[in-house]
Structure 1
Amino acid sequence: MSKKKEAEQQIADQEETTDQDTEDIETPEDIEDSTENESDEEQSRIEELEAELAHTKDSLLRKAAELDNIRKRVQRERVQLFEEAKAGALEDFMPIADDLLRTLKAAEESEIEDSFLEGVTMVAEKFKNVLEKHGVERIDETGVPFDVNLHDAMMKQPAPDEKTGSDVVLQVLESGYKIGNRTIRHAKVIVSE
């Protein structure tokens, strides 16, 4: 080969090498693009983690609220169960209280030894105190309007006077009992027509 051709070939090889070297060199635009890609990936990951954190917080808040609701419901059920058991137990004693009161009324009409009458009166008074202590109230009023929540009408009869309206309790045949707003046993009554 001639020296000229050889020189041209060397120049061409150098230009080719230079072109390859310049291709490998990152330009400021290339660096900016790669940092933008990395920044976008990091931002995307941050948003993903924030969404996951928000979901976890929401889930934990819901679980805490659910647990609180369960505690409140269990407490209400406990109180309700206690009240029902208390009412059931007291309901069993209602006939005894009625019998004691009937005994005292019968004793007033007959001649009974005073010491016996005092004993029965003391027992009746103790029984009354125990019922009051547990919030039990007797339903034995006459002259009040008939209330289906408190009374059980056994019969209707004409009012003894014209002043008494219709559906008024004339006579209590058997006392009822209630605790607060809950009726344990309805009073059996005679109601005016």
Structure 2
Amino acid sequence: MRWQQLFADLQAEFDEAAAAEERAQLPSRARSETAAVRLAERLGGAVGGRVSLRCRGAGEVGGRLDEVGPDWALLTDDAGREVLVSLAAVVAVSGLLRATAAAEPAARVRAAPDLRRALRGLARDRSAVGIVLDDGALLTGTVDRVGADFVELAEHAPEDFRRSGAVRSVRAVVLAAVAVVRTLTPGAA
């Protein structure tokens, strides 16, 4: 009986030492896991909520966060316009709750269409857009095509539809310079 008590005491000591080691590793493990979270994944937990993104060239862009891709976020602003934001242009985010972590599995966010594919959707829809570049310049027109590292914009006045007589020029814009893309409503002016 004394042997059984001795083994039980040793097992209890071992269990307590293992639990103490586990507790000591928790903060380090949490920091390590947090260090692996990308901005797109962090934003994924805030989908449906209101956020504000501070962007190079475009300033504060706020609204309801509708969707997040690996390198973009889609918001609906207070005017009801869709706003596509390049995450490469984002310098700060506000409106995230502490509890918002990667709600979507990271692999799902990474598998979503990238910025080029999102812009190709605008080209297919023939949507009039305003493109804010990372230097603050605003270009308006219709996305004609999207290449590997550029977007081609048929420039026209925001209130006009894309018609050959309305197009002032066609401009290729480097994707890395695109900060924000807002949908416009031609003919609304």
Same fold (TM > 0.5): no
Give the TM bin, normalised by the shorter chain: under 0.3
* Length-normalised TM-score, structure 2: 0.24
